[in-house]
Structure 1
Amino acid sequence: MKNIALRSVAVLSVLAFAGFESSAVAQTVDGPKVNWRLGAWGKSRAVTRGFETVKKYVEEKTGGKFSITIGFESFGGPKELLDLVKIHSLQMSMFCASYHPDKTPANTALDLPFLPLASAATELKVHEAFYQHPYIKKELAEWNAFAFMPTILPQYEFVGRGEPPTTIEGFKGLRVRALGGMGDAMRKLGSIPTSVPATEVYTALERGTVDAVSFPATYAHASYRTYEIGEWYTANLAPGTVGCPTLMALDAYEKLPPQYKKLLAEAKPLGYKALMTAYKEADEINVPLFKKAGLKFITYSDKELARFRKIAAEPVWEEWVKTNKAKGAPAQELLDLILDTAKAAKPANG
């Protein structure tokens, strides 16, 4: 998991260099009583450290006057939360476009396989630029939402049962949990992709509904306990990741007093730092845990990975552009924004 550790160091360096980190202000910020509800799925884990840090920061600085109640599964399931933001039932929420691509199709651009997101710092810059694009802001605004902060998810890897796919041909015929563009990439290999919600993955793998499941490595596989019933683990397939930002409700945000908006802006870099730290700490625990559980680690050769990318990278990108252009989205412009931002970020990241 050396690459993930390097990603963590890189993004922390960028944030520190940019002056994002700030020490806690001892003084309490005064203001009206405001309570927000934040919809989430699963349980508290590495990916939730970002908004949990934001919650802690604003509550401490306001003496509890601005509070955020996190509902893990208690406010709704993964595919319901965006609707709850739209009807003003939630003020913040986890969100993955790949769970309901028809609702926000242009947002699925970040789910495309093999995007050149070489480091967490690059990924952060790409995602922040993407969510500022007018069309993406417009698409989310139709749901009374905007992307407050990306979650900078690590690359996905598979845990599966049965014959280990030691070559990419080994995925042919396998039923795999692979979201968005990663699902399209796996279909190119002859797999049968499905978008099983994270909370249903353990049961699906246990009952044989799916043969393999992909999650951000390694924290999500540990959180959803796939290693307990899995038999093998892809250590370096890295087919991509997905865009799953924390959303805020537009109307709720606009009603906040200026001092509360300022606190939220101050909390974002602290949330990013907490995310990267949590991912790194999870890897240090989970890699030995997976090995102890008996998972067979599969490492693909550079030649195998190059074959996979040739089959499933640009062809899937081209299909995505064609499909979403037909829906009225500036699809090529959005893809170019991702690629150009990633390319420009590389020199700064070393």
Structure 2
Amino acid sequence: MKRRNFLAGSAALPAAATLFSPAVARAEAKVRWRMPSSFPSSLQTIHGGAVRMAERVEQLTDGAFVIQTYAAGELVPPLGVLEAVQTGTTEAGFTPGFFYVGKKPALSLDAGVPFGMTPRQHFAWFHHGGGRELLAEVYDAFNIVSVPAGNTGAQMGGWFHKPVEQISDLEGLRIRAAGYVGFVFSQLGAVPQQIAVGDLYSAMERGTLDAVEFTSPIDDETLGLNKVAKYYYSPGILELGASLNTMINKDAYADLPEPYKIALQTSCAWSYSDMLARYDSLNVAALRRLVAGGTELRAWSPEIKGAMRAAADKLFAEQSEADPDFKRIYAHWKSFLDDQLRWMSVNDGAAANYLQNG
């Protein structure tokens, strides 16, 4: 597609997209990057977000800046994306920060934590609430520039072979749960596992896992989790939104012409909202299909929700005590979230509650 035609038909793009286009037309540099994802190609929501973001960069630069995307395992291991970007093995990667909390706990705040921010709140904190600057200090140690480029929205509570009616039902339960979600389940007696997405179905089928917390109806259906587990829990209080990032090697980013940097940043912002819109649109029909096919939709009991909240608060207090970087960023993050919750109680949240409950 020609640049002028594309831009003419893209009224939804940020104003920056039109401001830098003359510079792109004059630029002669041809740039080719590689960008592995942590997700299989079958997931056209998450991995597809990486593909669509790269396509938008290429369109905005008249084909001069090309990012080749790779699904999980095609180029680097699914959980090895950050390291590949850090070392310069690849110029970029598409993955959430909470996959790497073992390297740096504060990375969880760049993706999502239990009882945390919604996608809208996270985007506001990152771009206008000081989050970008705080997280840049964390990523600097990894030689990475990280930009939000997608969000799943609130995720479901997970799939279970057996009902979870009380806290004791979690004792010894082997569950795939990423980041601090896994730590919360651990506090309640479960045994969290970090398993690549592509291996979840077989692990549940073989019985090496008892439960899986992944994302949402559309992804879970695509992975076939409803075929290996019956009980599907909500609400997703442990993950109100998972932010996916384009992680960029700092040296590669520094070498980009300025118009290409703008194209990349603009495409990431567009991809963030596009992915969320896809989830919101696709999850409704997917959940209907799951329930019609025999999935039993259940809700966490008040006892379990209260225990999860207490476990999360204890975890964040302990992590703040042990890690000054986490403490500093978490305090700022929590203050911003508290203000957002107050605002929602006055307007957005109050209005949504009325529409739902009358």
Q: 1:334 to 1:23 in 2, by over 3 A?
A: closer
Residues in 2 aligned to 1:253 and 1:112: alpha-carbon distance in whole angstroms: 28
Q: 1:62 to 1:339 in 2, by over 3 A?
A: same
Q: Which runs of 5+ in 1 are unaligned?
A: 1-15
CA offset at residue 150 of structure 1?
A: 4.6
Identity %: 19
Greater Cα shift, 96-105 or 287-296 = 96-105
CA deviation map 1:220-262 (0-9, x unaligned): 3133221221111002152225554221111111111122122
Corresponding residue for 2:89?
89
Residues in 2 aligned to 1:150 and 1:267: alpha-carbon distance in whole angstroms: 8
Corresponding residue for 1:5?
none
Say which of 25, 40, 58 aligns to 1:29: 25
Corresponding residue for 2:99?
99
Residues in 2 aligned to 1:193 and 1:233: alpha-carbon distance in whole angstroms: 18
Q: Tell me if 1:222 matches 2:221.
A: yes
Q: 1:322 to 1:223 in 2, by over 3 A?
A: farther
Q: How does 1:101-180 map to 2 (within 5 A)?
A: 101-109=101-109, 110-115=111-116, 117=117, 119-128=118-127, 129=129, 131-134=131-134, 136-180=135-179
Corresponding residue for 2:314?
315
Q: Which aligned segments of 4 or more residues in structure 1 are displaced greater than 6 angstroms?
A: none
Q: 1:323 to 1:208 in 2, by over 3 A?
A: farther
CA offset at residue 24 of structure 1?
A: 7.1
Check whether the contact 2:53–2:271 (CA below 8 A) recurs between aligned residues. yes
CA offset at residue 49 of structure 1?
A: 4.6
CA deviation map 1:252-283 (0-9, x unaligned): 11111122122223323321221121111221
Corresponding residue for 1:339?
334
Question: Over the residues paired in the alignment, what is the CA RMSD in angstroms?
Answer: 2.7
Corresponding residue for 2:186?
187
Residues in 2 aligned to 1:324 and 1:342: alpha-carbon distance in whole angstroms: 20
What one-letter code is carried by the residue in structure 2 that aligns with 1:121? R
Helix, strand or coil: the match of 2:169? helix
Check whether the contact 1:111–1:243 (CA below 8 A) recurs between aligned residues. yes
What one-letter code is carried by the residue in structure 2 that aligns with 1:37? R
CA offset at residue 289 of structure 1?
A: 2.1
Compute the TM-score of the two structures, normalised by the length of structure 1: 0.83
Compute the TM-score of the two structures, normalised by the length of structure 2: 0.81
What one-letter code is carried by the residue in structure 1 that aligns with 2:40? G
Q: 1:285 to 1:132 in 2, by over 3 A?
A: same
What one-letter code is carried by the residue in structure 1 that aligns with 2:332? L
Q: 1:291 to 1:278 in 2, by over 3 A?
A: same
Q: Which has the higher contact order (CA 8 A, sep 6+)?
A: 1
Corresponding residue for 2:196?
197
